[in-house]
Structure 1
Amino acid sequence: MDEHDLGLADDLYDVIGLLRRRSGRLVGTPLPHLALSGAQLELARVVRRNPGITVAEAARVLGLAANTVSTLVGQLVTVDVLVRERDTSDRRVVRLELTATARAGLERWRDRRAASTAAALATLDAAEREHLAAALTTIARVAASLTDDAAVGAGAGVPAGRARD
């Protein structure tokens, strides 16, 4: 790994963060009456895209431990964002669904965010849009390769038991 790779990594996070912050300021939050954490919102989005997903499946999608997702599920059930439903064919399996109110809020938010981003994309020429579309595959590969095995110097200088970002 060279200095260029480190700079590219920083630039990638800077650009993704800028996109998320500007979009957030423009379209707001999906459920403004709730102060959802980033992790709670990500789980709600996963359930919106995958109705009936299990906790274990959601944990795999999010790259989190199942017990962490289970805690998030409990929090979202308490604030009426999620409901747990028993699988009809296997009563031991619990499936996650959004409440009707949460689904409507998330879909309105998604539509606002998609429309505002599509308007910005429309200012690009065809070649720029194709370049961006191709880059998404590469970014997804980078994200998929971010595993504990790929960590270099993870935890260096972080005392045991302390959280890392």
Structure 2
Amino acid sequence: MESESFPEALADALAGVQRLIRRRLRSGTTAPRLRGAEVELLRLVVARPGIGVSEAAKELYLAGNSVSTLVNQLARDGYLNRETDPADRRAARLLPTPAADARLRDWRERRTALVRRQVARLDEAERAALEAALPALRKLAVNLHEEAEET
């Protein structure tokens, strides 16, 4: 039986780890800082080149005008290209630039190295506990995603 405080403690721990990873990665780059939503949009476009603005907004649970603003900023900064959708001339398809690919690759490599160093500092039992928790954490993410789609 889970304690009453477990959900809050889990949410706090996950948010704290994510926040500290972002801060550490931010301090190690000379490139202009990207906000969380900008990184999420870039990651989505790299994973699904050609995605439309409205589909990206739906996927990220953001308003269409918010995604349009992000697209404009990322295009201005050289991270995204917009192409007219041949199936609907009013719509735009989003494509990552080589600069976006390089920026995300660098971010992933630095994030992996950071987490690897910190996990190595844990004892064997702590590392095993984290690895054993991964399937449950992935399922939690799926559940959160599905619940968001229902609303």
TM score, norm. by length of structure 2: 0.72
1:6 and 1:113 map into 2 onto residues whose CA distance is: 25
Which structure is higher in helix share? Answer: 2
What amino acid is the match of 2:20? L
The equivalent of 1:158 in structure 2 is none
Identity within the alignment, %: 42
What amino acid is the match of 2:35? S
Q: Is the 8 A contact 1:55 1:69 kept in 2?
A: yes
Q: Is the 8 A contact 2:25 2:107 kept in 1?
A: no
Deviation at 1:64, TM superposition (A): 0.6
Distance 1:16-1:111 versus aligned 2 partners, 3 A rule? closer
What amino acid is the match of 2:12? D
What amino acid is the match of 1:51? P
2:25 and 2:55 map into 1 onto residues whose CA distance is: 28
The equivalent of 1:40 in structure 2 is 38
Q: Mark the runs of 5 or more structure 1 residues left unpaired by the alignment.
A: 151-165
What amino acid is the match of 1:18? L
Q: Mark the runs of 5 or more structure 2 residues left unpaired by the alignment.
A: none
Q: In the alignment, does 2:135 pair up with 1:134? A: yes
2:116 and 2:4 map into 1 onto residues whose CA distance is: 35
| RMSD across aligned positions (CA) | 3.2
Residue-by-residue CA offset, 1:83-120 (whole Å, 9 max, x unaligned):
10112343333110112222222223223323443565
1:142 and 1:46 map into 2 onto residues whose CA distance is: 19
SS at 1:53 equivalent: coil
The equivalent of 1:18 in structure 2 is 20
2:120 and 2:68 map into 1 onto residues whose CA distance is: 40
The partner residue of 1:95 within 78, 93, 96 is 93
Residue-by-residue CA offset, 1:18-70 (whole Å, 9 max, x unaligned):
34434555xx34xx433322222221122112111111111122111111101
Query: In the comparison of the two structures, how many residue pairs are matched?
Result: 146
Q: Judge which range, 133-142 or 113-122, deviates more.
A: 113-122
